A = this chain, B = another copy of it.
Amino acid sequence: MHVLVVGAAGMVGRKLVDRLLSEGSLRGKPITAMTLHDVVPPAYPEGTAFPVVVTHGDIAAPGEAERLIAAHPDVIFHLAAIVSGEAEADFDKGYRINFDGTRLLFDAIRVAGYGPRVVFTSSIAVFGAPFPDAIDDEFHLTPLTSYGTQKAVGELLLADYTRKGLFDGIGIRLPTICVRPGAPNKAASGFFSNIIREPLNGEPAVLPVSRDVTHWMASPRSAVGFLMHAAELDGDTVGPRRNLTMPGLAITVGGMIEGLARVAGADRAALIREEPDPTIMGIVDGWPRTFDAARALDLGFTTENTFDEIVQAHIEDEGIVL
């Protein structure tokens, strides 16, 4: 079992690699080789029982995708992307990496002709307002960002290439990932993580929106679980509709803060300062809030049921001492 992770240096990519190494097997077979790729060099994992190739480069550059596929990896995780804000600000870069890069990777797999499992990370950004109360599995793709458009195109290609038997793809639409570890993030969605992570570190945090804003989220641990389960799934049980909205937790900001207080104490929650920011409020207003992820739940994907679990997962996974 040779596993390729494209986008292995990102936050989810690093956690996925850790999980693959701790499991040691995938799809019922021991992992015997791993290739980790990103635009910057991913960290070389220490102490593995099998060879790991760590490589970096531009996925949209000529020959790069072919190079990654040359050894015929059995499972390919495609996580690489220019994120939403950057893809919106830099049209050419977003289309080059997210659109052309994905197409080039899929085509390299097609030309290699050996039909591996491909797990593609899509996003709830494929949906754009106005929304129904809960977005179900048959709601149309109406992205309102270039990032969402590029992810939607990736989904369509994945489904068609799978239908044609060129590879065996599963696309997963990730919720907002919370709590993101690391430094405060200036992305419009960054505050969802900041208001939990910073108080857990004893630091103040700013809340730029109202407490009654609802959002759809899952922990990094859940995201890795989604990827692992997508790699394991029997394609026949999925059928031709290969792109799945992942389960998540729909919760208000107020509910998040209550969860933080329950797990870590009211003094931590008191470190959050409300400073309404009309710009961020406007952006967040256009985001989807609640989904009915029935298909993914039927197919065995699981996530947190309470925000307390999301806070607890962050404390455990980041080794935080309260």
A residues near B (Cβ < 8 Å) are 91, 128, 132, 137-144, 146, 149, 152-153, 156-157, 159-160, 163-164, 240-241
Contacts and interface: CB of A to CB of B under 8 A. Distances in A.
A196 to B, nearest CB: 32
Nearest to A146: B160
A160 B143 contact: yes
A163 B139 CA distance: 20
A16 B33 CA distance: 58
B138 A139 contact: yes
B140 A159 contact: no
A152 B146 contact: no
Counting chain B CB atoms within 10 Å of each CB, the highest count among A128, A137, A142, A160 belongs to A160
A106 to B, nearest CB: 11
B91 A144 contact: no
B138 A241 contact: no
A143 B241 CA distance: 9
Nearest to A152: B156
Given A146-B160, A149-B159, A152-B156, 17 more contacts: A91-B164, A128-B240, A132-B138, A139-B140, A140-B141, A141-B141, A141-B156, A142-B159, A142-B241, A143-B156, A143-B159, A144-B240, A149-B157, A149-B160, A153-B153, A153-B156, A156-B156
B140 A138 contact: yes
22 contacts: A91-B164, A128-B240, A132-B138, A137-B140, A138-B140, A140-B140, A140-B141, A141-B156, A142-B159, A142-B240, A143-B156, A143-B159, A143-B160, A144-B240, A146-B164, A149-B156, A149-B157, A149-B159, A149-B160, A153-B156, A153-B157, A156-B156
In the complex, the count of this chain's copies comes to 2
Nearest to A240: B144
Nearest to A107: B95
A170 to B, nearest CB: 15
A132 B140 CA distance: 13
Contacts of A128: 240
A144 B156 CA distance: 10
